[in-house]
Each structure stands twice: as structure tokens, then as C-alpha cells.
């Protein structure tokens, strides 16, 4: 047996200064002595100056695997294993010298809390010692787990790669980690002297305080927002702030836990992307359209063969530029969360016809016109954003023209609660190995990459997201009708 946690805390007060004769009588009789009531599940024993057990009792004795017969009249060394006797000797000697003592003792896979005190005879001399033992195995395990958890939390808090803080209900910083100090360019005493309100950008403060108040009232349990802080040197940093409220056992608010991640670089990049998107949308769309228009005039006018061929190449390049530009702008809208569907009742047949005309008119003059069969398109009303539906249909019909054969068939069918639009072609179809990647971003099959048609690999990715924004779906299958590719679009019925 080995000691554990010498001098550990007690669950009960140590037995102290009791009469020896009375104590031994109560232990042997098992009576309702105050010590018995203080240690209802423990073991109590008296020992003399030779460290010999004089009397033993208590309900916990049997749980130790020992008995009164094995202990009474024997010394510690005789009745217990050597390591156990050694552990008990020191606190018991202290008790016989007139002081109380305590330690934890491991025995038979359990942990016991030992408390000892002197016992006085009738004339006041220290006649013996009195010990009380209780099984505290589970208590010690919980305490150890709690201590280890606190240590882990402390390490996590101190060394977290993002800012972490405990914030008082009034906004005062209570504790901050090094990552937050580095971000805000403060030393700890200077930051703890401030409130978060002191360094929050005025334009972000009202929203932060509103969310804080809603958390305090219990309307929400936590919140996340983007906001700006002023650093000690006057710089402005963007952060993503996540806040949760810690309440006491009585439900009363205690403090806030804040996690603060620096997103300044991300916001800078996002602004640069928005600036680029605005430039693409406003400064490139019109020139591309003008180039395509004049190229078409040259390609169809009375010019020599070399001029016509050059104009046709310009027209193709302008068309590719316009497609890539529109896909890039739509993708940016999806990624930034600005893509919002505005559904209304839409005539599906009219939308298909408009898309077919747009695709046919965009075919360069030197290329054969793809025959688009609309004979199976029936009048029906879908509930969707008409602009989004037009972009979906135009994209699918353009793909059929680029990668399919000379014939494309569009059909519509009414299903319970939905409308299905099918676009099928008589081309080679999508390679089976590539089908799982068909709707992924920037995905293009090898045949498409090596073909004469350029693309970004964003078209079907955009189609899928546009349909999802409108409560629709898209799927692919080999066409049973024409043998090529077949895409099936479903949309809610109006």
C-alpha cells in the first residue's frame, strides 16, 4: 500500500480529544456515539503508543476486507501489509504527540481518507490515538478529473491561436489571452483597465450591445457577429466575435466568454474581390458586347474571306469572354451570399423558347445551327425566379450545343407539386467516371478540356446553386431518347 495526497482535505472534521474508555466501549458495542454519526460509512479505531489496535468499529470496516478479529490486539506491523503500516505510522505518531493529522491511503485498489487525533485519559494525559477512515475513491477521482480539466482549459485559453476573453456583464475585460493582446496591441494591465465598448468601432457598437442584451434576457443563448476594434496604435482590425453567457447554479448571469478571430486580411481580400467584380460588371460587359456586335457585322458583311475569318474568330472570342464573365459574376454572388431568389409565377414554355432563341442567336456565323426541338414543351406555370430560370435553361442549351450532337430535344412534364424540364442531346454524353464530379466547381471532363470550346467549369455548378435557391433540383442521366446527355430539372409548381 502507498500513500496518496498526504495532508489532503477532509470530508469531516478530525476526531478530537475524546475519552478513551468511553470511546473503546462505544466502538466495541457499536453504539450511537457522536463519532459514529460523524462517520456513518467509515471505520473508527483506537490505537496505543505501541501502534497497537485497541478497538475497531464502524459500518465501513467490512468494506475494507478487514475485521475486528484480525486487528484488535495486534500492532499495525502485525495486522497490516508493511507499506500500509508505514503510511499509517507517521500521522498516528503525530496524534500520540498531541496534534491532529490526516492523509490519504491507497488500499486494495481504493483510496481512503485517514484522520487521527489524540485521546486523553481521565487524568488528562494522552492515553491513545483515535483514527477515522472513509472511502473517498470516487471523490478523489472527481477532484482529479476536475483539476485536470481546469489545467487543460487554462492551457487552451492561454495558448489559443485566436483571441479569447472573459468579459464582465458591464463590458470590462476580466481575463484575456496573449493572442488577443497581440491583436489589439495592448499589454494586459492596459486592456484590463478598459471595456470592450471603449475600443469598439462606433458603427458596430449598437448591434453588439443589442445582441448582448438579448443574451442577458435569455432571448438568445449566444451570438456571432463581425465587428471592428481600434488597436492601441489606432489601427482598425476586423474580427469575428462569438459570445456566450455563463450563468451560475441559480441561473443568474456571471460573465461572458468571447472568442475573437482576426479577419482583417479576409475582409481586405473580400473588398478587393468586390472591387474587381464591380469592374467586371460595369467596365467589361459593355465592351465585350460591342466587340461581339461589330465582329458579327464584319463576319456577315461583304468582305473578303480573310476579313470574314478574322471577324468570326473575334466573334467566338467575344462570346467566350461574355460567358466567362457572366459565370464569374454569378459565382461571386453565390459565394458572397448575395444570390437571392425572387420567385413568382413563370411560364415555363415561354422561358424555354426565349432561352432557345438566345442560344441560337449566339452561335457564330461559321458554325452549323443546332436544331432545338421544342415540340414536347407544354404550357405550365412554375414558381421560381424568372432570371434564374432563364440562366439555367440558357446554360443547359449552350452545353448541348457545345458538347452534344446536332439535335437537342427539350420536353416538359407535370408531376405532383413539381414541373420537370428535360434537356437531351445526341452527343457522346458524359463519361461515366466523370459523372460524380459533374456539378462540382471548376470541373471539366478531359474531352471538354481538349475540345475547341473553352469554359470555366462553373456552368453546371452555377445551375445547381441557382436551382437550389429556387427550391429546385438537377440530375444527369444518359439519354434514353437520343443516346447522349440528358439533364432533368425540377421546379416547384406555381
Report CA dihedral (133, 139, 140, 146) to the nearest 10 degrees: -160
* pLDDT for 29: 59
Asked whether the beta carbons of 199 and 209 are under 8 A apart, the reply is: no
Q: Taking phi first (over 0 means left), then psi (-120 to 50 degrees means alpha), and beta for anything else, what does residue 478 get?
A: beta
Interacting residues of 150 by C-beta distance below 8 A, sequence separation 6+: none
Asked whether the beta carbons of 318 and 295 are under 8 A apart, the reply is: yes
Reading the chain (494 residues) residue by residue, the pLDDT tens digits are 444 444 444 444 444 445 566 666 666 655 555 555 556 668 889 899 999 999 888 878 888 888 888 999 999 999 998 988 999 999 999 999 999 999 998 888 888 999 999 988 778 889 899 998 999 989 888 888 877 776 677 666 777 888 999 999 999 999 999 999 999 999 999 999 999 999 999 999 999 999 999 999 999 999 999 999 999 999 999 999 999 999 998 899 999 999 999 999 988 887 776 766 666 665 666 677 777 777 777 777 777 778 877 877 787 777 666 766 766 667 667 666 677 888 999 999 999 999 898 888 766 555 556 688 999 999 999 999 998 999 899 889 988 888 888 889 999 999 999 999 999 998 888 888 888 888 887 666 655 545 455 555 677 888 888 899 999 999 998 876 777 889 999 999 98
Q: Where are the beta strands (DSSP E) in 178-272?
A: 222-230, 236-247, 253-262
* pLDDT for 7: 42
* pLDDT for 421: 95
- DSSP states of 420-465: EEEEEESS----GGGGGGTTSTT---HHHHHSS----S-HHHHHHH
- All three cell numbers of 278: 464591380
Neighbouring C-beta atoms of residue 474, cutoff 10 Å: 21
Rounded Cα gap, residues 356 and 365, in angstroms: 16
First to last CA, the chain: 80
Report the SS3 class of residue 134.
strand
CA angle 388, 393, 396 (to 5 degrees): 125
- All three cell numbers of 189: 494591465
- All three cell numbers of 174: 476580466
* pLDDT for 4: 42
CATH no., domain 3-141: 3.30.450.20
Strands 407-415 and 418-425: antiparallel
Residue among 350, 456, 351, 353 at smallest CA distance from 402: 456
Report the SS3 class of residue 124.
coil
* pLDDT for 5: 41
Asked whether the beta carbons of 68 and 53 are under 8 A apart, the reply is: no
* pLDDT for 381: 96
Rounded Cα gap, residues 205 and 212, in angstroms: 10
Q: Looking at the domain 160-262, which fold is it?
A: Beta-Lactamase (3.30.450)
- All three cell numbers of 473: 433540383
Q: Which CATH class is domain 340-494?
A: alpha beta
- Residue 201 vs residues 228, 256, 269: alpha-carbon distances, Å: 5, 20, 20
Give kind and range of the element (H or E) at residue 107.
strand 101-107
Rounded Cα gap, residues 115 and 112, in angstroms: 10
Amino acid at each position: 500500500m502507498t500513500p496518496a495526497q498526504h495532508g489532503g482535505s477532509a470530508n469531516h472534521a478530525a476526531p478530537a480529544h475524546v475519552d478513551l474508555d468511553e470511546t473503546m466501549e462505544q466502538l466495541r458495542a457499536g453504539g450511537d456515539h457522536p463519532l459514529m454519526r460523524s462517520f456513518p460509512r467509515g471505520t473508527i479505531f483506537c490505537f496505543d503508543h505501541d501502534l497497537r489496535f485497541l478497538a475497531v468499529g464502524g459500518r465501513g470496516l467490512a468494506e475494507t476486507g478487514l475485521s475486528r478479529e484480525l486487528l484488535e490486539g495486534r500492532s499495525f506491523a502485525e495486522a497490516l501489509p508493511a507499506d500500509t503500516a508505514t503510511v499509517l505510522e507517521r500521522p498516528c505518531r503525530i496524534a500520540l504527540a498531541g496534534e491532529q493529522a490526516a492523509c490519504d491511503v491507497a488500499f486494495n485498489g481504493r483510496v481512503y481518507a485517514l484522520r487521527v487525533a489524540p485521546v486523553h485519559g481521565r487524568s488528562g494525559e494522552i492515553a491513545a490515538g483515535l483514527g477515522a477512515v472513509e472511502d473517498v475513491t470516487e471523490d478523489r477521482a472527481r477532484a482529479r478529473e476536475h483539476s485536470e480539466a481546469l489545467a487543460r482549459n487554462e492551457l487552451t485559453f492561454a495558448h489559443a491561436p485566436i483571441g479569447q476573453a472573459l468579459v464582465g456583464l458591464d463590458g470590462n475585460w476580466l481575463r484575456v489571452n496573449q493572442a488577443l493582446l497581440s491583436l489589439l496591441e495592448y499589454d494586459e494591465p492596459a486592456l484590463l483597465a478598459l471595456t470592450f465598448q471603449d475600443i469598439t468601432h462606433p458603427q458596430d457598437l449598437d448591434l453588439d450591445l443589442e445582441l448582448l442584451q438579448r443574451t442577458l434576457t435569455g432571448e438568445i443563448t449566444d451570438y456571432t457577429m463581425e465587428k471592428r476594434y481600434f488597436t492601441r496604435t489606432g489601427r482598425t482590425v476586423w474580427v469575428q466575435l462569438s459570445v456566450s453567457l455563463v450563468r451560475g447554479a441559480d441561473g443568474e448571469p456571471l460573465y461572458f466568454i468571447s472568442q475573437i478571430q482576426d479577419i482583417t486580411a479576409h475582409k481586405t481580400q473580400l473588398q478587393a474581390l468586390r472591387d474587381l467584380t464591380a469592374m467586371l460588371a460595369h467596365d467589361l460587359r459593355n465592351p465585350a458586347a460591342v466587340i461581339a456586335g461589330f465582329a458579327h457585322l464584319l463576319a456577315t458583311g461583304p468582305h473578303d474571306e480573310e476579313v470574314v475569318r478574322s471577324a468570326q474568330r473575334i466573334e467566338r472570342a467575344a462570346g467566350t469572354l461574355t460567358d466567362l464573365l457572366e459565370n464569374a459574376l454569378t459565382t461571386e454572388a453565390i459565394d458572397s451570399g448575395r444570390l437571392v431568389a425572387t420567385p413568382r409565377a413563370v411560364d415555363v414554355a415561354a422561358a424555354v423558347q426565349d432561352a432557345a432563341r438566345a442560344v441560337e442567336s449566339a452561335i457564330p456565323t461559321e458554325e452549323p445551327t443546332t436544331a432545338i426541338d421544342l415540340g414536347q414543351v407544354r404550357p405550365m406555370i412554375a414558381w421560381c425566379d424568372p432570371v434564374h430560370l432563364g440562366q439555367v435553361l440558357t446554360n443547359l442549351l449552350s452545353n448541348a450545343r457545345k458538347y452534344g450532337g446536332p439535335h437537342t430535344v427539350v420536353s416538359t412534364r407535370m408531376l405532383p407539386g413539381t414541373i420537370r424540364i428535360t434537356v437531351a442531346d445526341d452527343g457522346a454524353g458524359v463519361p461515366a467516371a466523370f459523372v460524380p464530379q459533374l456539378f462540382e466547381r471548376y470541373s471539366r471532363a478531359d474531352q471538354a478540356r481538349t475540345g475547341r470550346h473553352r469554359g470555366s467549369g462553373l456552368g453546371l455548378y452555377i445551375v445547381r446553386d441557382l436551382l437550389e435557391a429556387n427550391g429546385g433540383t438537377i440530375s444527369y442521366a444518359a439519354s434514353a431518347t437520343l443516346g447522349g446527355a440528358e439533364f432533368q430539372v425540377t421546379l416547384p409548381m406555381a
